[in-house]
Amino acid sequence: MLYTAGVDDNADAAEPLTRAYQYFHGKWEYGEFPASTQRIALYRRPEGGRIAVYMSRSGELFSPEPSFQNQSIHAKDMENKKKLGYLADLRQVASQLLACGDGGQNYCRMNRDTWAPMDISIFDDYVDVNWAFEIKARGNTGAEQDRYWEENPELKRERTRRISLFNKSLSLHAINGPSLDNLYLCGAKGAVYFWNGERMEKLSVPTSAYLLDILVEDPDTIWICGRNGTLLRGNARQGFTAIPCDDGPTFSTLTRFDGRIYLSSISNPRGVFVHDGRTVRQVASGLRRDLADVHTVDAVEGALWAVGSRDVARFDGTAWERIKIPKWSD
């Protein structure tokens, strides 16, 4: 079973739309929903069964499964207190759905209708734009304004402080972990946070690259990937080390299949990469047209999937197979 999200080439860019595709036993089906898709999570429900849950950038949740109750993650009572912004990732850990995004947002689904921050202390505070830029230099010329700041250094420092608060932004792009009291979050400027069930701790890692995905191999082996060919391995207790990679691909996702770590790269060199325990190298699929359009890799027992904007392929451990996309998906 493969779940993907797409949009019609002729769709109105101003009107959010998702075609939720499902590929099962060689057949494609789809349904349309009036929302865009940022992330898809495979959700194993407490009452049994598993479904695909789709999340938009604005935090709307929906599913092709009719029994799933559509909902919104954002807490309206925080809109004028915290900066908020878009959401980036949706993941299930243990029995709970988790989400993270811009402004340091980190949420856990507490019950069917309620989402709550795990640690609100790392959320960026809301800063009013008028207050941030209220202090202005007097004068009609640059020289006059420079002189004003020289004569009023305290006002200049206060102006700088306010603008710095306004521009502050903790962008989190991925959340994952072995358990609900052993979670990792990552994002812009090499940010990696660890949640121990009570509070967030910022970890030191050997990169300042934008980090995009997290894979749990086991409780002591956490993989994090991102831009500039970044691949980290480690944990909160022992720290993280960088795995060398040439050419600087942008690793957008990673997964484990057949004892190896596979990654997707969305910028040159584009395609599927593999870490075999020694090096990171690009995969040659052997297909007539090699894999270049790949933004996501994921694995289930017996199959590695590579998904792009207009390409889907599957690897069984021996050979790659390109999956034919039906004409009605255009």
**Residue 228's pLDDT is what?**
97
Is the predicted pLDDT of residue 224 greater than 80, yes or no? yes
Is the predicted pLDDT of residue 216 greater than 80, yes or no? yes
Is the predicted pLDDT of residue 329 greater than 90, yes or no? no
**Residue 256's pLDDT is what?**
98
* Range in 51-55, 79-83, 174-178 the model is least confident about: 79-83
d(CA 294, CA 317): 18
**Residue 246's pLDDT is what?**
87
Q: What is the rounded average pLDDT of the residues 156-175?
A: 96
Where do we find the tokens 């420079």?
146
Is the predicted pLDDT of residue 254 greater than 90, yes or no? yes
SS3 readout for 156-225 = HHHHHHHHHHHHCCCCEEEEEEEECCEEEEEEHHHCEEEECCCCEEECCCCCCCCEEEEEEEECCEEEEE
Residues written for the chain: 330
**107-153, pLDDT tens digit by residue?**
999 987 789 999 999 999 999 999 999 999 999 999 999 999 999 99
More confident site: 330 or 101: 101
Reported as a pLDDT band with limits 50, 70 and 90, residue 325 is: confident
**6-31, pLDDT tens digit by residue?**
988 777 777 899 999 999 999 999 99
Q: What percent of the chain has pLDDT above 90?
A: 86
Alpha helices in the chain (DSSP H): 129-132, 142-151, 153-167
Q: What percent of the chain has pLDDT above 70?
A: 98
Average pLDDT value for the chain: 94
Whether the Cβ atoms of residue 168 and residue 84 lie closer than 8 Å to each other:
no
Whether the Cβ atoms of residue 107 and residue 116 lie closer than 8 Å to each other:
yes
**Residue 32's pLDDT is what?**
92
**Residue 328's pLDDT is what?**
58
**Residue 1's pLDDT is what?**
87
Reported as a pLDDT band with limits 50, 70 and 90, residue 184 is: very high
Phi, psi of 150 (to 5 degrees): -65, -35
Number of neighbouring beta carbons within 10 Å of residue 65 = 13
Is the predicted pLDDT of residue 270 greater than 80, yes or no? yes
Q: What is the rounded average pLDDT of the residues 295-303?
A: 95
Is the predicted pLDDT of residue 330 greater than 70, yes or no? no
Reported as a pLDDT band with limits 50, 70 and 90, residue 88 is: very high
Q: What is the rounded average pLDDT of the residues 157-183?
A: 97
**Residue 14's pLDDT is what?**
73
